[in-house]
Structure 1
């Protein structure tokens, strides 16, 4: 949804129209305000048209000296269509807590650079990636993204979960950088868990959906992945909207067709290492275990990632390129 009202003072926490705090639980930002000078309004409208279907709200607000302060707390993320220095000077005094502050991503009028300056893991990095579809280079400086690794906040988003104890991510993201964190462990309850300040707790947003487990031959196409998943879902009670995430093996995480498919369907991707998949091996025999020591990827990853750790659809193949199983 988009609005042209640059001076709408009717928004309030009471009307439920906007979040009273920023994206403090690790989920992607959903309500965006583009702050732009009047002369750059055309570019702001182009951004709105491109990103409109990816967010619940995108509003265009004309820039003035107190614009950020006036709308602070109404949006998950601000896109500043301006020099980064302006956005930094006008918001510095408003910043209090990384888990409470709205994310801010600045972009130039030529859409050359998209630069997250606050809340990288809480919406700004995602907005920068979305602006990349318009040609902007996402200049992300958060350590895990700069190193090409998936931080714990990104893992939470991919798994349709949120971070419960945000302060812990300082230590766990350092472990990500050092390649010592390992896969996300799943604990089924009811049970009580005592954790230290170096353990990040992720809580699912919903347990009603399903998980797509998938494997493939090397070089499988985007179209084959999507067609395989849709074919598998058609054999269950679920549709794409009910998919929590797609799961696969670490050895498949760089498959270009897979990455493009999850992006096209706006799904998260979770990868599991060999040891985790061996613990959740599915019922269908797989030659890969004999040849390379890996269990069948599609069933094992569907079981490992799903809430109840059970299959609603055992492995099926598509065009000798992609295998799929569905877990819940």
Structure 2
């Protein structure tokens, strides 16, 4: 995720600095940029370039600035609004599919502020179908029907949710309370239906790249995988494939974990990693010295996932293990 923080006053800039320091090392955030003043021209330049825009200013300034650019809940960035005293953090735009509601809760926790969320499903303790899609990294088909599904949930009508057993990872207490669940392996997607209105969710391909020191303990690899998935707020079963470099192909600590999870381990040749160019990949001086490549976990996650994939979890080290996760668009 790429985040832009905009401020107007000196007080707002101090809040921006606090957020920058708290967000820059978050594995889920690839880049945090700060902008001060010149709000209208800045938003004109960046609106379609960031996944989230956080404005620290009066609501009128922010609303007038983003208004010409607002297009669709499925493509607009998440937009959050914070007042100059950081009393409130408001989810302003793209609360569900853009992730603004979840981000509002996290930012409010950093600033010790009151989160403000106004989407009807959330305030009625229901899980919108677009919230499920966002939380578990799914594409959406028939998005025009989202309103029928979510409206039915709000009105306490029974909404059917059909899914194959392999996608049971989406079920949690809130989903179970909001939907009538039906397991059916004849489906190859997650399908939500109310009357004649259907919304289809297809989990996007997710690959976890793993790097590790020689003779790494199996328990350390397991801990790294679990910690990364905990930060992503997904079960390990949501990962479709794992990947590593050919020099780690027989690393017992890696292989044992993948076998236990009953997943496939994709092996990427070092020559492919050496020639791979992607600005999302960071550089490790240690790995460059040892193997002549910038890194292992990030490029293997991206190469294994193919073209049109991007990082959603940047390289993070866990006691001798490095983890990165890519998602196919």
When normalised by structure 2's length, the TM-score is 0.53
1:190 shift after superposition: 8.8
Secondary structure at 2:90's aligned position in 1?
A: strand
What is the distance in 1 between the residues matched to 2:137 and 2:2? 18
Secondary structure at 2:126's aligned position in 1?
A: coil
Secondary structure at 1:171's aligned position in 2?
A: helix
- Which residue in 1 is equivalent to 2:77? 102
Gaps of at least 5 residues in structure 1 are 1-29, 210-229, 244-261, 270-301, 308-324
- Which residue in 2 is equivalent to 1:137? 114
Distance 1:306 1:240, change over 3 A: closer
Distance 1:50 1:170, change over 3 A: same
| Matches for 1:1-328 after TM superposition, within 5 Å | 30-39=1-10, 40-52=12-24, 53=26, 54-64=28-38, 65-121=40-96, 122-134=98-110, 135-177=112-154, 178-186=156-164, 188=185, 198-206=197-205, 234=222, 239-240=225-226, 243=229, 265-268=231-234
| Contact 1:32-1:78 at 8 Å conserved across structures | yes
Distance 1:131 1:93, change over 3 A: same
Distance 1:153 1:191, change over 3 A: closer
| Contact 2:88-2:114 at 8 Å conserved across structures | yes
Q: Please give the per-residue CA displacement for 1:265-299, whole angstroms capped at 9, x wherever unaligned.
A: 34147xxxxxxxxxxxxxxxxxxxxxxxxxxxxxx
1:109 shift after superposition: 2.3
Q: Please give the per-residue CA displacement for 1:115-170, whole angstroms capped at 9, x wherever unaligned.
A: 11111111211220111212122111111111122111221233332323322211
Secondary structure at 1:200's aligned position in 2?
A: strand
Q: Please give the per-residue CA displacement for 1:181-212, whole angstroms capped at 9, x wherever unaligned.
A: 24452365797999987211111122667xxx
What is the distance in 1 between the residues matched to 2:41 and 2:151? 37
What is the distance in 2 between the residues matched to 1:111 and 1:159? 30
Gaps of at least 5 residues in structure 2 are 165-183, 209-217, 241-259, 264-329
What is the distance in 2 between the residues matched to 1:179 and 1:232? 46
- Which residue in 2 is equivalent to 1:314? none
| Contact 1:31-1:76 at 8 Å conserved across structures | yes
More strand by share: 2
| Contact 1:48-1:58 at 8 Å conserved across structures | yes
Q: Please give the per-residue CA displacement for 1:26-69, whole angstroms capped at 9, x wherever unaligned.
A: xxxx1111111251222101011122214222110122132211
CA-atom RMSD in angstroms:
3.7
Secondary structure at 1:80's aligned position in 2?
A: strand
Secondary structure at 1:60's aligned position in 2?
A: strand
